[in-house]
Amino acid sequence: MKKLSEIMDREKVAGYVFVMPFIIGLFVFTVIPFFTSLYLAFTDYNVLSEPNWIGFDNFKRMFFEDKHFWNSFWITFRFALIQVPIKLCFSLGVALILARATKATGVYRAAFYIPSLMGGSVAVALTWKQLFAFKGPINAVITAFGGKAVKFMNNPKITLYVLIGLGIWQFGSSMLIFLAAIKNVPASYHEAAIVDGAGPVTRFFKIVLPMITPIFFFNLINQTIGAFQAFNSSYLITGGGPLNSTLYYAVHLYNRAFTNYEMGYGSAMAWFMLLVIGAFTALIFRSSSAWVYYESEGK
């Protein structure tokens, strides 16, 4: 009989030993919850009593009875549709500005990155709320320039934009990703283009932009998935108000599942969100062949 230590040292066995934490975690914290969630979506589970199978009732209620459902869905959709493009433009623009290497670049990079490091925190959410308070500094600046103070926090038409602003302010991490990509563009490409008489604008559109489309694609998917799941800013700053105008889908889901303990209904909502996010990701993937350039394909 072979010794245990010898068996353990076989590559096949050792491989499984090393990745075992991941495999266990995958099943316990991802695969099982994933299918549990699918099951719960068709039940009336409420934590206290055993789940009862109720077929598509949760979905019927979602689509036809819960008026906050579509409301929160469209708010989240609008939030993503406005925030993601602006945020990406900001990140790319600032990345281009910071691509010019100077002695102070490290400091600038830190200044632009720090907000995204802390932006999701409770501290910043609370501060953001006071920045846009009626007597807050933003209104002080507006009135100093002769404008009229805005009721940012109690106007259903405006408050969502305050939250979108907070999201855009955190463009730092996608900016860093763009910056790394821009620096990866070989200097020889630029040099060749300069010899051919191309200015900075031409070089941006003809060289840099095509070269970084894979990163643009990555950031677009990442930011879209993130925006659809937004929770903190609404929960912490507005609590969904005023008049439910900032009630994100995730906040509505949380209220249903954890305030009213309608876990079955919440699971149905979560699955609908998964499908929507999946559809959007698929859409972006499908469109990618038209605009994402992969160097190795040599298109």
Partner 1 sequence: MTATTAKVKKYRSMRRAKIRSTIIYHVLVTMMSFLMLYPLFWMVSSSFKPNTEIFVNVTSLIPIDFTMENYVTGWKGFAELSFGVFFKNSILVAVIATIGSTFSAAVCAFGFARLRFPGRNIWFVAMIITMMLPGQVMMIPRFVLFNEMGWVGTFLPLTVPAFFGGAFDIFLVMQFIRGIPRDMDEAARIDGCSWYGIFFYIIIPMIVPALVTVAVLTFIGSWGDFMGSLLYLNKPKYYTSAYALKLFADAAFTDYGATFAMSTLSLIPILTIFFFFQKNLVEGISIQGLKG
Q: Which of residues 105-144 bind partner 1 (CB under 8 A)?
A: 106-115, 117-118, 120-124, 126-128, 130-131, 133, 135-137, 140-141, 144
What residues between 69 and 108 interact with partner 1 by CB under 8 A? 94, 97-98, 100, 102, 104, 106-108
Asked whether position 287 contacts partner 1 by CB under 8 A, the answer is no
CB of 26 to partner 1, least distance (A): 6
CB of 188 to partner 1, least distance (A): 22
CB closer to partner 1, 53 vs 192: 53
CB of 263 to partner 1, least distance (A): 5
Asked whether position 214 contacts partner 1 by CB under 8 A, the answer is yes
Number of residues assigned to the chain: 299
Interface residue with partner 1, options 28, 89, 194, 243 (CB under 8 A): 28
CB closer to partner 1, 159 vs 233: 233
CB of 241 to partner 1, least distance (A): 14
Asked whether position 238 contacts partner 1 by CB under 8 A, the answer is no
Asked whether position 24 contacts partner 1 by CB under 8 A, the answer is yes
Peptide bond into 51 cis (omega under 30): no
CA 8 to chain centre: 42
CB closer to partner 1, 122 vs 192: 122
Check: CB of residue 215 under 8 Å from CB of residue 181: yes
Asked whether position 180 contacts partner 1 by CB under 8 A, the answer is yes
CB of 78 to partner 1, least distance (A): 19
Asked whether position 281 contacts partner 1 by CB under 8 A, the answer is yes
Residue 148 φ/ψ, nearest 5 degrees: -100, 135
Crossing angle of the two packed helices 122-131 and 105-118, in degrees rounded to 10: 100
Quick note: the x/- pattern for partner 1 over 183-212, rule CB under 8 A, is ------------------------------
Residue 53 φ/ψ, nearest 5 degrees: -70, 125
**174/85 Cα distance (integer angstroms):** 12
**263/228 Cα distance (integer angstroms):** 20
How many residues bind partner 1 (CB under 8 A)? The answer is 99
CB closer to partner 1, 192 vs 279: 279
| DSSP string across 253-283 | HHIIIIIS--HHHHHHHHHHHHHHHHHHHHH
3-class DSSP string for 170-222: CCHHHHHHHHHHHHHCCHHHHHHHHHCCCCHHHHHHHHHHHHHHHHHHHHHHH
**293/251 Cα distance (integer angstroms):** 37
Asked whether position 260 contacts partner 1 by CB under 8 A, the answer is no
**236/122 Cα distance (integer angstroms):** 7
Asked whether position 267 contacts partner 1 by CB under 8 A, the answer is yes
CB of 244 to partner 1, least distance (A): 19
Check: CB of residue 212 under 8 Å from CB of residue 185: yes
